[in-house]
Amino acid sequence: MKMLTSAKATFIALAALALAGCSSYSEIARWNSAVKVNDGETPMATFLTQNFSYQLLWCIPICSGVPWSKEQGGGDCMDDYRVRFFTDLATVDGNLKSLNYALDRVGSRRIAHVITSQDDSSAWSLFLLNRHEVRTSCLILPPNPPAAKAKQ
């Protein structure tokens, strides 16, 4: 009986970790872009973060990815299995926390073309489990705007 209980607990823990999978992903990509924004300004980097959470019956949090931050020991890229159980950290606020951390890392506070989306899916789980995904991406601009062009 005791072994059966241990086996159940082990199975539940392994299933939760497998379900969480890659629960959080963030990156800063530094590149020289040919794309111009804001009347000819060249972005210095792109930013992307995705965070997932899983809920039972659409309301009971099972596990969630942890937003990218200094406290989490993030480098230039985090593709990680950092999971918190019984919480829902996949929120727009969590993604903005990751964005603020990315801006600190590159030394700029200017962004353009921010896109945030949320997606819920439950079809793959027979409607018992819901996967909530929050994605945020943007272009990071240089810290100082270019000097205004003289009017002719």
Residue 15 within any structural domain of the chain: no
- The backbone region for 110, taken as left when phi is positive above 0, alpha when psi lies in -120 to 50, beta otherwise, is beta
Residue 6 within any structural domain of the chain: no
Length of the chain: 152
Give the tokens for residue 85.
């159980």
Alpha helices in the chain (DSSP H): 2-20, 92-106
Residue 135 within any structural domain of the chain: yes
Q: Say yes or no to pLDDT of 134 above 90.
A: yes
Predicted confidence at residue 10, as pLDDT, reads 63
pTM metric for this prediction: 0.75
Tens of pLDDT, residues 15-70 = 555 555 557 778 888 777 777 887 788 888 899 999 988 888 888 888 888 888 77
Tens of pLDDT, residues 78-126 = 555 678 888 888 999 999 999 999 999 889 999 999 999 998 876 555 6
Give the tokens for residue 119.
């997606």
Q: Say yes or no to pLDDT of 152 above 50.
A: no
Residue range(s) defining the domain that contains residue 121: 23-141
The number of folded domains in the chain is: 1
Residue 3 within any structural domain of the chain: no
